[in-house]
A and B are shown apart, each in its own frame.
Chain A
Amino acid sequence: MGKIERNPTGTLSRRGFLEGSAGLSFALSIPGALFAPRVALADDATPGAIGAWVTISPDGAIVLAIPVAEMGQGSLTGLAMVFAEEMDADWSRVSTTYPPVKPEIFGNPIFGGMMVTYGSGSIRGYWDKVRLQAAAVRNVLMQAAADRWQVPLGELHTGPSLVVHAASNRSMSYGEIAGFAQVPATMPTIDKSALKKMADYRILGKNTPRLDIPGKINGSAQYAIDVQVPNMVYATVLRTPVEGGTPEHVDDAAALKVPGVLKVVPLKNSVGVVAETIEAAFKGREALKVSWSSLPTDSFNSADGMKDFLARAAKLDDKGVSYVAKGDADEAFAKAAKVMTAQYSSEYVYHAQMEPMNVTASVSPAGDSAEIWIGTQGVSPNVFAAAAMLKTTPDKIKLNQFYLGGGYGRRSPADMMPEVLPLAKAMQRPVKLIWTREQDVKSAQMRPMTGHQVEAALDADGKVTGWRHRVVGESVVAYRGTDKALEGAKGIDGILLEGSKHEYAIPNQSIAYLREKRGIAVAAWRGIGAGYNKFVVESFIDEIAAAQNKDPVAFRLELLKDEPRAQAVIKAVVDKSGWGKAVADGHALGFSYAKVVETYVAAVGEVSLDPKTGIVRAHRFWIALDPGIVLNPDSVLAQTEGNVIFGLSQTLKEQVSISGGQIEQNNFYDYPVLRMSEMPEIDIQVMPTDNPAKGMGEASLPLVAPCVGNALFKLAGKRFRALPLSPERVKAVTGV
């Protein structure tokens, strides 16, 4: 503690306000300090602590320990709202802090109890756990009031931060009760049936300003890259140009001559440059000359790889690993009156999170404990990795969580630990390690390149009797974990295959995974597998409809007869968009539907194409979605807007190419992402239903590409089956 110093305009140093008389809750309510390291709030000895998750001050200020990384998705506020709702707290008095790393208390049940933030899993993962915790807190407060007043618990109810005994017209504030309440050693167990119903919600379902936003409009929000630790030095790394390479010969003479450079440290897959300033570290990196070990991946080119992937997708006798086997697909195809076949593909894409990868760490002189300052989706993985590297136990690793300048899956792994810990150990000073943007691109962990073959069996009446989808690509599960992890999942890569399942009533289906091993770093990316798999599914469904001269919406509704939530969002988006009516000259509408992270989404996109340049423009998108219970409606809109823009960016522009095992791109000048002048108008209809709240951070993204592709078919009369739909590729298809 006491190591964080705020910038001069923040005026308060952390040490300053902790020494002051304002008290803990005040300190934590300073905007921008939401993720600042905290004092042991969860300690039962902390005055006002009601269990591990809540501290209530006498003045009624409530601090909730919320174990999610906030990277713009809004789940910090969302989960706090869930907690406050069930606890019946006065929302205006609620602030949050990141809890200490105690996965046994704060872990996410759907991710093996780890403290992680990914897979659009915060709300759906913590939904029951947080509500039950909050209900237990409320119960303790009510019991304390009942004891004080000598009345039965059943005669009490709660209002915003208030316990009320209506019969005697008495009430007591949560703040007052917290001052005397005896908190049981074990918090009471609450039955799920006692939880609040949607109709009784006071906080959830209403537009609620996000708690992190005030600090994000004046520069005070603290990201890990902003941390200032006394006596720290700066570092950057030159990493292996080919994944897995190790430095064989390091010529550091020129780097060490750069004024301010202190040390050059060869690491496992990189070479670290430590300096008194970040500018000196970056200059020193430029001056390094390193030769790297050779690897099989050195010969990999993504263009050739794609040809191989697609060739393999076509070899039906190469069965791969079965993901979905419904009915008898082989028989359906053998008996089919007609078979349709198409090949689709998607390239490697880069997260392009705006905050380059960075971390700060300090290692004890004995080398057996460390303090880490980081913005991470993977709190538990980083703590475990650090403990393993230092041959110590996780409790000896203190991790301070910050806001994340974009995550989208990139900030899940613990890949910075093997760099920062040896550097901090070697320097015996805290080290702030920042990758250059170029390094961030060159060491991208990408959404895997994929090749697909998809087939439909049709009977004489045109009914779809069989579906076959073969997905070829490198395994994310094996890269992120190990081959064993993939074997543990029976060879089924749930990240890569996400979205290949669909709800269409086709009696015989086969979906298979054909694994490739090329040694490329692949990762979860916003929308994970659905980003390309829904492009395949929704484009091909459109192809089948078009081949039968059927309206693509009517065709889908026919196949979704038993899916009322799907029907509802499809009908809503059709009404809103004016589907089927005339559009501007040279424009066309494309449609797609999908269930992503258990959220139902339907989309229509209005698109035009300049045949001469091959430039595709999306003018407008209409989205209708049903995510179950909606916690913060405006946040759902914000996420959906972001999904459309991120999704359009990957649809039209994004591609990492690999030559000689090395990523060819460098920075935003050769890896362009969507800019404001390219954004479409976005019209969103949120359709809440009384179903458990599901993921919003990536649900609509996968719908964008098929909308664009299906609209292009109407404009050009040809199918566009390879992402991204960049001008060169579009022209290659149109032949203009």
Chain B
Amino acid sequence: MERTEAELIAAVLKGDSSSFEPLVQKYSPRVFATARRYARRESEVEDIVQEVWLKSFEKLASFRGEAPFEHWLMRLAVRTCYDFLRGHQRNRESAFSELTEAEEDWLERFVVEPSSAPEDSDAAKLLINRVMEKLSPQARLVITLLEIEDRSVKEIAELTGWTVPLVKVRAFRARGEMRKILSKIAKDKYL
């Protein structure tokens, strides 16, 4: 018979670390998808996910079982991703590299007729990734959670540990930061 999550967690806390494996198996897809939002290289993604699981194992005793394990784990995952972004801030300070031909084509199509630039194209994906990489860690986290993952301010506050007003302030600043980057791209390209 398959054991429940609560039973698995209780077994891990009693010292049976092999009971942790089904939890890793079940939730790794979600953790990987989250980590891939913040890190581009696959080796970095694996490092982040590994750290999330090691931390969750170490801190498992602090899981009270009041909320689902998944919520607790995702909080840990988001905070680990944020730490990763803060630790790699230097990367975003590098010079804005030139746009690829596909990205330039996409931008040109957008300038001529915004609706003609498809949002599901690879070029659009590359461009948004490029913009996200230029954002500060706070701005990137807020934009990802609020605008891309479509989470509420309250949810973001719970995930990040920030207060609701702080999330709102950071979201406002993040949008401004993003517009600034976009205007820089436009300036570099069209002026």
Q: Do A and B bind each other?
A: no
Interface residues of A (CB under 8 A from B): none
- Chain B contact residues, CB within 8 Å of chain A: none
